[in-house]
Structure 1
Amino acid sequence: MIIRNLKDTIKTEDHKQTEAWDSVRLLLAKDGMGFGFHITTMYANTETEIEYKHHLECAFCISGEAEIIDVKSKTKHLITPGSLYALNEHDRHIVRCKKDFVIACVFAPGLIGNETHDAAGSYPKAHEGTKSC
Structure 2
Amino acid sequence: MIVRRVYDVPGVEWGNGISRRLLVADDNMGYTLTDTTVWAGTRSPLQYKNHLEACYCVSGTGMVVDSEGNEYPIEPGTVYALDQHDAHYLIASPLEDLRLICVFAPALEGQERHDFSRLDFSQY
Fold similarity call, TM over 0.5:
yes
2:77 is the counterpart of 1:82: yes
Q: Identity, % of aligned pairs?
A: 39
TM-score, with structure 2 as normaliser: 0.89
TM-score, with structure 1 as normaliser: 0.83
Counterpart in the other structure of 1:21: 17
Give the ranges of 4+ consecutive aligned residues of structure 1 lying more than 4 Å apart after TM superposition.
none
Counterpart in the other structure of 1:61: 57
Partner Cα distance (1:18, 1:30) in 2? 19
> Residues 54, 80 of structure 1: CA spacing in aligned structure 2 closer, same or farther, 3 A cutoff?
same
Structure 2: gaps (5+ residues)? 120-124
CA contact (8 A) 1:51 1:120 kept: no
Partner Cα distance (2:7, 2:74) in 1? 25
Shift of 1:17: 1.4
Shift of 1:18: 4.6
User: Number of matched residues?
Assistant: 116
Structure 1: gaps (5+ residues)? 122-133
Letter in 1 for 2:75: T
> Following superposition of structure 1 onto structure 2, how do residues 1-133 of structure 1 map, counting pairs within 5 Å?
1-9=1-9, 12=10, 15-18=11-14, 20-71=16-67, 73-98=68-93, 99-118=96-115, 119-120=117-118
CA contact (8 A) 2:57 2:98 kept: yes
